[in-house]
Amino acid sequence: MTNLIPTTINFSSSDIIAALLLIFIILFVYIAFNFTKWRNNWIKSKPFPKEWNSLLTANLPIYSSLATEEKRRLQQLIQLFITKKRFVGCAGLTVTDNMKVTIAAEACLLLLNHPKTAVYPKLYSVLVYPSAFRTEREQQQSDGTVSVASRNLSGESWSNGKVVLSWDDVVAGASDFTDGQNVVLHEFAHQLDSHSGSTNGAPPLRRNTYSTWSKVLSDEFEDLQKACFRRHKTVMDHYGATNPAEFFAVATEAFFEKPKQLYLKHQGLYEELRLYYQADPRQWHQ
């Protein structure tokens, strides 16, 4: 009969320290990896302020037409946006909750049916001017010389984490949600477009195929250019004929504000945008 003698394993202090260090590293990585998700869930679980709900009803005309679940998702996205983005008043403007909620609501409308999509992860600041702001840009002329051009703008989207808006133009866009003119929708469409690494009218696609997207939007862009040259009246603003990036932003404005007209005149384009945004705004414009 064999005697079983218990074996004693001796751990040195260095072994114990190494094991504890490994456990600490694993725990730290786990917490760091999940912290953003936990924080976002905590923000979304907070009650939506009644004052903000009143502002939504007053400033976003289609809000009352959204389904109950859509309203809930929009509220959650707004809370994330306002909590995580920095609002900066420019030229002496004091940013109010009314401004924050109005801008966040329209920006988040583009993300409404993509609840798993991050809320503009590359955006850090929203700069708000009282009215149209002047910019100066260097422009190279055909003869090789460089000149400085001044322009009054209602909005700008930057790839370095900033969106600049004119509050007067934000108010104008919110007051008439049927004219296809909305600076917030326009500039945040540029933000979505820039997620591909460049702003060129080809944002990262979710359900669309790149081949169909490219063909439909290219054809529609060329048609808009021809219509502008002939001075024809169009559903989309003529500014969309500037370049593919502006076309995508202008088409987004028309999609959300003039969905019935866009569907009637440009059904293929409408279907591509419907698939991309996972929304059918015609239901909100009854």
| pLDDT, tens only, 232-272 | 999 999 999 999 999 999 999 999 999 999 999 999 999 99
Alpha-helix residue ranges (DSSP H) falling in 46-67: 50-59
Mean pLDDT on 209-223:
96
| Residues paired with 165 in a beta bridge | 128, 155
Unique residue bearing structure tokens 């202090």: 13
Across the chain, mean pLDDT equals 87
For residue 86 the two structure tokens come to: 């920095």
pLDDT in tens, 163-202: 999 999 999 999 999 999 999 999 999 999 999 888 999 9
Whether the predicted pLDDT of 105 surpasses 70: yes
Whether the predicted pLDDT of 44 surpasses 80: no
Residues in contact with 85: Cβ distance below 8 Å, sequence separation at least 6, in sequence order: 104, 120, 123, 124, 125, 126
Q: How many Cβ atoms from other residues are within 10 Å of residue 43's Cβ? A: 15
Confidence of residue 26 (pLDDT cuts 50, 70, 90): low
- Domains of the chain from N-terminus onward: 35-182 (1.10.472.150), 196-286 (3.40.390.10)
Residue bearing the bigger pLDDT, 255 or 140: 255
**pLDDT score recorded for residue 122:** 92
Burial class of 76 by CB neighbour count within 10 A (0 to 12, 13 to 18, 19+): buried
pLDDT in tens, 46-100: 888 999 999 999 999 999 999 999 999 999 999 999 999 999 999 999 999 999 9
Whether the predicted pLDDT of 9 surpasses 90: no
Residues in contact with 284: Cβ distance below 8 Å, sequence separation at least 6, in sequence order: 62, 65, 66, 259
Whether the predicted pLDDT of 5 surpasses 60: no
Residues in contact with 69: Cβ distance below 8 Å, sequence separation at least 6, in sequence order: none
For residue 272 the two structure tokens come to: 């591509």
- Distance (Å, rounded) from C-alpha 37 to C-alpha 236? 38
| The model scores a pTM over 0.75 | yes
Apex 258 CA angle, 275 and 169, nearest 5: 110
Least confident of 31-40, 68-77, 158-167: 31-40
- Distance (Å, rounded) from C-alpha 284 to C-alpha 63? 8
**pLDDT score recorded for residue 35:** 46
